[in-house]
């Protein structure tokens, strides 16, 4: 290309729009340490006491109409800076997302939460993403979870999901649901459906980029009740009512866009997956660039669980319209599931 076009070879990429890139023989490291230090300095938190948690346990934010108002301009500026850090800091997705919901009438309660995030940033400046060179065989898997009515103002739930390409985190999300869930079953169902649709898209994108067709990606949703009870197809040897009371409320309310159940394809019971992945979107665990495999600091074991359930009951949830329906038909034509 240098023969045809006027250009300069600057060598390996090392810095791009605030993201520091370190390319090694077997891995690539991405972080925003310099930008994080700039944020702390800008908001006079460079000498603050560091903390290990981006949010205190059981923190519950709300509009706090009776609280003492604070400067909204500075608060919004902090949130804007922190949001740019999310390019390499998935552990900040949940706390920053929660703080972003209250940008109008701010009180000391909201300001305290933002200062907690900055204190956490102080102690994790060198955290980031590690992309390790993996095997030739492509493996995609994800994790999904949801709370129930975590939004105290609108009573909406918040779900999170993470997706890995081999052992490298490539996609994550933490967001509030668009509808109110009437039960934890419904909240988990909505989160798992969203994650399943995202898994199908990642599989399609990977196939387009690599020319290879990955296996259907499993998605861990360990707290979801057996979906057989909602589909009217009880597990073998188990007598389960077709219209389970726990699923009755939302099975009918979502009748117009009811998810389709594809048995033993995308989400299923398997072994060898770790439970320490999903906390990346809730901020409790994060890989360090200095020791990417060391998760013991937060008390999380690096060993694989003996058994992690993927949508208990062994079923997949995908949308019933458009490209998702086509993907579902494709899954049904394939005669293989996900090996345990």
pLDDT score for 65? 79
Does one domain contain both 207 and 305?
Answer: yes
Residue at which a domain ends, from 61, 96, 126: 126
3 part of a folded domain: no
pLDDT score for 59? 85
- Of 276, 241, 257, 274, which is closest to residue 321 (Cα–Cα)? 257
Residue at which a domain ends, from 91, 126, 161: 126
Residue 85: phi, psi to the nearest 5? -70, -20
pTM: predicted TM-score of the whole model, two decimal places:
0.70
178 part of a folded domain: yes
Does one domain contain both 259 and 189?
Answer: yes
1 CB neighbour count, 10 Å cutoff: 6
Could you write out the three-class secondary structure of the chain? CCCCCCCCCCCCCCEECCEEEEECCCEEEEECHHHHHHHHHHCCCCCCCCCCCCCCCCCCCCCCCCCCECCHHHHHHHHHHHHHHCCCCHHHHHHHHHHHCCCCCCEHHHHHHHHHHHHHHHHCCCEEEEEECCCCCCCEEEEEEECCCCCCCCCCCEEEEEEEECCEEEEEEEEECCCCCCCHHHHHHHHHHHHHHHHHHHHHHHHHHHCCCCCCCCEECCCCCCCHHHHCCCCCCCCCCCCCHHHHHHHHHCHHHCCEEEECCCCCCECCCCCCCHHHHCCCCCCECCCCCCCHHHCCCCCCCCCECCHHHHEEEECCCHHHHHHHHHHHHCCCCCCC
Does one domain contain both 304 and 169?
Answer: yes
Does one domain contain both 178 and 320?
Answer: yes
Residue at which a domain ends, from 104, 126, 148: 126
pLDDT score for 93? 94
Number of domains in the chain: 2
338 vs 315: CA distance, rounded Å = 11
pLDDT score for 84? 95
Does one domain contain both 31 and 64?
Answer: yes
pLDDT per residue over 124-175, tens digit each? Answer: 999 999 998 877 788 899 999 999 988 888 999 999 999 999 889 999 999 9
pLDDT score for 226? 53
Q: Which two tokens stand for residue 334?
A: 């394939």
132 part of a folded domain: no
Does one domain contain both 318 and 181?
Answer: yes
Does one domain contain both 189 and 286?
Answer: yes
pLDDT score for 126? 92
Is residue 323 within 8 A of residue 235, CB to CB? The reply is no
Q: Residue with structure tokens 């800008």?
A: 42
116 CB neighbour count, 10 Å cutoff: 18
Low-confidence residues of the chain: pLDDT under 50 = 227-242, 252-265, 267-276, 278-329, 331-332, 334-340
pLDDT score for 220? 83
2 part of a folded domain: no
Is residue 148 within 8 A of residue 185, CB to CB? The reply is no
Does one domain contain both 175 and 292?
Answer: yes
Is residue 286 within 8 A of residue 298, CB to CB? The reply is no
Does one domain contain both 149 and 69?
Answer: no
Does one domain contain both 50 and 163?
Answer: no
Is residue 203 within 8 A of residue 196, CB to CB? The reply is no
Is residue 55 within 8 A of residue 95, CB to CB? The reply is yes
Q: Which domain holds residue 80?
A: 15-126
Please name the residues in contact with 273: beta carbons below 8 A apart, sequence gap of 6 or more.
141, 218, 220, 304, 305, 308, 310
pLDDT score for 268? 44
Q: Quick one: residue 48, left, alpha or beta (phi over 0 = left, psi -120 to 50 = alpha)?
A: beta
pLDDT per residue over 252-299, tens digit each? Answer: 444 433 333 333 345 443 334 444 454 444 333 333 333 333 323 333
339 part of a folded domain: no
Beta bridge partners of 19: 16
Does one domain contain both 318 and 278?
Answer: yes
Does one domain contain both 68 and 187?
Answer: no
């Amino acid at each position: 290309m240098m023969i045809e076009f006027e250009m300069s070879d600057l060598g390996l990429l090392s810095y791009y729009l605030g993201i520091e890139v370190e390319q090694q023989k077997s891995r690539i490291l991405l972080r925003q340490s310099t930008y994080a230090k700039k944020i702390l300095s800008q908001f006079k938190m460079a000498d603050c006491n560091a903390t290990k948690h981006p949010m205190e346990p059981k923190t519950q934010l709300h509009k706090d109409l009776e609280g003492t108002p604070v400067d909204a301009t500075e608060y919004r500026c902090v949130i804007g800076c922190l949001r740019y850090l999310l390019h390499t800091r998935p552990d900040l997705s949940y706390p920053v997302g929660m703080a972003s919901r209250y940008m109008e009438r701010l009180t000391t309660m909201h300001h305290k939460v933002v200062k907690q995030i900055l204190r956490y940033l102080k102690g994790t400046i060198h955290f980031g993403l590690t992309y390790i060179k993996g095997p030739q065989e492509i493996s995609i898997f994800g994790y999904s979870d949801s709370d129930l009515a975590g939004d105290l103002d609108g009573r909406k739930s918040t779900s999170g999901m993470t997706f890995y390409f081999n052992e490298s985190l490539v996609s994550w999300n933490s967001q509030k649901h668009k509808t109110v869930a009437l039960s934890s079953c419904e909240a988990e169902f909505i989160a798992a459906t969203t994650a399943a649709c995202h898994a199908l898209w990642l599989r399609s994108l990977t196939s387009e980029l690599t020319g290879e067709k990955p296996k259907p990606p499993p998605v861990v949703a360990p707290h979801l009740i057996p979906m057989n009870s909602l589909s009217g197809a009880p597990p073998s040897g188990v007598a389960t009512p077709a219209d389970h009371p726990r699923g009755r409320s939302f099975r009918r309310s979502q009748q117009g866009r009811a998810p389709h159940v594809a048995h033993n394809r995308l989400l299923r019971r398997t072994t060898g997956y770790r439970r320490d992945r999903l906390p990346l979107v809730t901020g409790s665990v994060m890989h360090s660039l200095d020791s990417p495999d060391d998760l013991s600091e937060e008390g999380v074991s690096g060993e694989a669980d003996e058994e992690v359930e993927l949508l208990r009951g062994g079923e997949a949830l995908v949308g019933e319209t458009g490209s998702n329906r086509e993907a579902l038909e494709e899954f049904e034509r394939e005669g293989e599931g996900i090996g345990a």
